[in-house]
Structure 1
């Protein structure tokens, strides 16, 4: 995807043009800022794989992984639903984090799998993301059914 890019600005331009992301640059890296247009839910890769499989039927559920593929970050549409302390504690116990407004999500800058990379690539075109409720429901179901961490 990034073969025509020669600079971080080229990458940011490609991500804006191809996927409609509101990409910004910080320290030479393209990123999305959580809040108005984007929510992000991060989790360990083993949980992320199960959540991605559960979300396969949902259109356009993009996710990026860190350079060592230890954490996956799913992108979603705000507003996020309210979650009380029990949900937040259950998520935290499993390593799941809902990013606060203003937190940055790094985006891939190459197709090289040892850097930040897509584990679920977005669909080209106008920015379409699943709602945060859809992603968080998939996380909750995954934790309950697959890992036995969240009671019904």
Structure 2
């Protein structure tokens, strides 16, 4: 993914042009700022693995993690699509996860090496290549509180 990049500027260029992630640089490290169009959901490693096992793999789901064991997983997400149930946010918080606040830096991997920040699941070049916040939050709810009557399926 980043093997041909020789500088931080090239890494940021690849994220911007190829993957439509609005990367900026701060002290030679790529990041994006969370906002309405592109956000992030952070969750503990174990919950991140459970969500990864439960999501529909036909859709790209970019996930950033740190190589350090037990570090949180960061799911890159798009805007809400439909109503987010308050129970979904509560389920995420009950597992010590969070929706990353707007205007927060999310650090991006700078190489394909499995050290430091790395991609667990790489972004896709396709349009709409990130899951909606709604879909990911409802997946968390379905894992934490699998009451089929209370969970509405969201694509």
TM-score normalised by L of structure 2: 0.82
TM-score normalised by L of structure 1: 0.84
Residues 94-122 of structure 1, C-alpha deviations (whole Å, 9 max, x = no match): 11110111011111101111210111111
1:148 maps to which residue? Answer: none
More helix by share: 1
Question: Could you tell me how far 1:58 is from its partner in structure 2?
Answer: 4.6
1:65 maps to which residue? Answer: 65
Question: Could you tell me how far 1:82 is from its partner in structure 2?
Answer: 4.9
Three-state SS of the structure 2 residue aligned to 1:12 is helix
Name the CA distance, whole Å, in 1 between partners of 2:31 and 2:142.
Answer: 29
2:91 and 2:140 in contact (8 A); partners too: no
Name the CA distance, whole Å, in 1 between partners of 2:21 and 2:100.
Answer: 17
Which stretch of the first structure deviates more once superposed, 3-12 or 126-135?
126-135
* Structure 1 spans left out of the alignment, 5+ residues: 146-150
2:112 maps to which residue? Answer: 111
Which stretch of the first structure deviates more once superposed, 135-144 or 121-130?
121-130
Three-state SS of the structure 1 residue aligned to 2:50 is helix
2:24 maps to which residue? Answer: 24
Three-state SS of the structure 1 residue aligned to 2:25 is strand
Count of residue pairs the alignment pairs up: 147
Q: How does 1:107-146 map to 2 (within 5 A)?
A: 107-145=108-146
Name the CA distance, whole Å, in 1 between partners of 2:59 and 2:92.
Answer: 24
* Structure 2 spans left out of the alignment, 5+ residues: none
